[in-house]
Amino acid sequence: MHVRGLTLGVANGGLDLLALWIPDVTEDDLRAFPREGLRFRRSLSTGAAADERNFAVELSHGCRSYADRPTNPCGDRGPGRDNGPVRTFDRKFGDDFLPGVPAEPGVYRFYGPADALLYVGKARNLRRRLAQYRTTGRRKKERKRRALVRLAERITWEVCESELDASLAEIRLIQSLRPPRNVAGAFPFLYPFIGIRADERETRFCLTTSPEAFQGFDLHGAFRSRDVTGEAFFALVRLLRFVGHPTPHSRRDRRALPRHSYVYGFRRLPAGWPEMWRALLRGASREVLVDLCLRLLEHAGARARGAQIREDLRAVERFFDDEASRLAAAVAATGFATYPVPQRDRDLLFLEYRATPGHQALTS
């Protein structure tokens, strides 16, 4: 038996371990197999668990040797699987449902009790996509589809001219209706911006999901990942403490900020830095990071914290690569006229960008 890199013989020291691994297996069951030292080789870490399922099926059918094994104990879907999802789908929607679904691009909707919308999806081929819900298995990644089939009472679809049109329609429906089973793209108002405001006294940086509250800042975004953007923002704040002088703000000022908003100010930053940081946030240049690294090397406190400094610099670089430069490329390729990009339009912009010839050539 192979468990997390350990191989054991069932007939010897592996009996107790296997009994723990499958609680219903007894020592007598294991010794009933005729081949001495039978070795079960499987890789649980990679999810290849077909052998475990077959072994459990054999025991449940009272097999005492390989000759007694049922050829297909669970019907026509192969050993260790059942037809539960197929039966549930056909019982709810009819066994003639799928033949009536067009094999064309479109969007589909699942409705639950009281005709409440549960989920909106898109497909290049509606019939093929909905067929996946009918034959979904028991793997962890298929759990969402199984739950939808169990909860849904009806399914509708709308044909679109192309896959791009289907994707755009899906995003608009998710943003306007916010089905409870849709998470990605349902809350664009949480997409963050980073802004800069510089004057003779100080340079201030803000992170916010409420751009309307920061009219005096030069905002950049909207960015997709709150994790990547937030990590980079606070890494930048820590790095700038070694170069400039942080300006304190009262607790009252902090309380006046909108939710998910943060502001930090610095005095005596190098001349020209505000424009260089704007270029980085706009996805145009990372030149300011080179200048920042050189100044950090001159600071004894930064040198003493080398590991943390490197991690913070990587966070800012990761933001530039994954968020800022990609947003800049999408704006340039599509000719999007508004900057910063409104939160509601960010996902639609990237769908159009993925359909441009330049992006398709890069990804092909």
Please give the residue that has the higher pLDDT: either 94 or 32.
94
Residues 6+ apart with CB under 8 A from 214: 193, 195, 206, 208, 261
Which of the residue ranges 4-18, 132-146, 227-241 has the most confident prediction, judged by mean pLDDT? Answer: 227-241
Q: Which two tokens stand for residue 28?
A: 């007598």
pLDDT tens, 171-230?
Answer: 899 988 989 988 766 677 889 999 999 998 999 999 999 999 999 999 999 999 999 999
CB distance 74 to 57 below 8 Å: yes
Instruction: Using pLDDT thresholds of 50, 70 and 90, give the confidence band for residue 68.
Output: very low
30, pLDDT greater than 50 = no
CA 197/CA 291 separation, integer angstroms? 20
Instruction: Using pLDDT thresholds of 50, 70 and 90, give the confidence band for residue 272.
Output: very high
pLDDT tens, 114-129?
Answer: 999 999 999 999 999 9
Q: What is the pLDDT of residue 358?
A: 61
Pairing, β 106-111 against β 154-159? antiparallel
Q: What is the pLDDT of residue 202?
A: 94
pLDDT more than 70, % of the chain: 74
pLDDT tens, 246-267?
Answer: 998 777 777 889 988 999 999 9
Mean per-residue pLDDT, 327-337: 95
Q: Please tell me the least confidently modeled range out of 63-77, 259-273, 296-310.
A: 63-77
CB distance 235 to 296 below 8 Å: no
79, pLDDT greater than 50 = no
CA 91/CA 68 separation, integer angstroms? 34
Mean per-residue pLDDT, 67-71: 43
> In this structure, what are the phi and psi dihedrals at residue 331, rounded to the nearest 5 degrees?
-65, -45
Q: What is the pLDDT of residue 70?
A: 43
Q: Please tell me the least confidently modeled range out of 64-78, 250-264, 271-285, 327-341.
A: 64-78
Residues 6+ apart with CB under 8 A from 70: 57, 58, 61, 63
Q: Which two tokens stand for residue 314?
A: 């990587």
CA 57/CA 72 separation, integer angstroms? 10
CA 291/CA 239 separation, integer angstroms? 12
268, pLDDT greater than 60 = yes
Please give the residue that has the higher pLDDT: either 66 or 301.
301
CB distance 10 to 37 below 8 Å: yes
Please give the residue that has the higher pLDDT: either 122 or 72.
122
Q: Which two tokens stand for residue 145?
A: 């589809």
C-alpha separations of 96 from 89, 91, 131, 149, 157 in Å? 11, 10, 12, 16, 16
CB distance 208 to 193 below 8 Å: yes
Instruction: For residue 305, count CB atoms less than 10 angstroms from its CB and return exposed for 0-12, middle for 13-18, buried for 19 or more.
Output: middle
Amino acid identity, residue 217?
Answer: F
Amino acid identity, residue 329?
Answer: A
Q: Which two tokens stand for residue 310?
A: 């490197």
328: closest CA among 316, 313, 340, 342? Answer: 340
CA 286/CA 45 separation, integer angstroms? 40
Please give the residue that has the higher pLDDT: either 23 or 92.
92
Is the pTM for the entire model greater than 0.95? no
Mean per-residue pLDDT, 94-120: 95
Q: DSSP 3-state assignment of 156?
A: strand
Q: Which residues lie across from 218 on neighbouring strands?
A: 196
CA dihedral 329, 335, 337, 341 (to 10 degrees): -30
Q: Please tell me the least confidently modeled range out of 133-147, 201-215, 248-262, 348-362.
A: 348-362
Q: Please tell me the least confidently modeled range out of 34-38, 240-244, 312-316.
A: 34-38
List the domains of the chain with CATH numbers: 2-68 (no CATH), 84-185 (3.40.1440.10), 189-363 (no CATH)
Whole-number mean pLDDT of the chain? 80
Instruction: Using pLDDT thresholds of 50, 70 and 90, give the confidence band for residue 12.
Output: very low
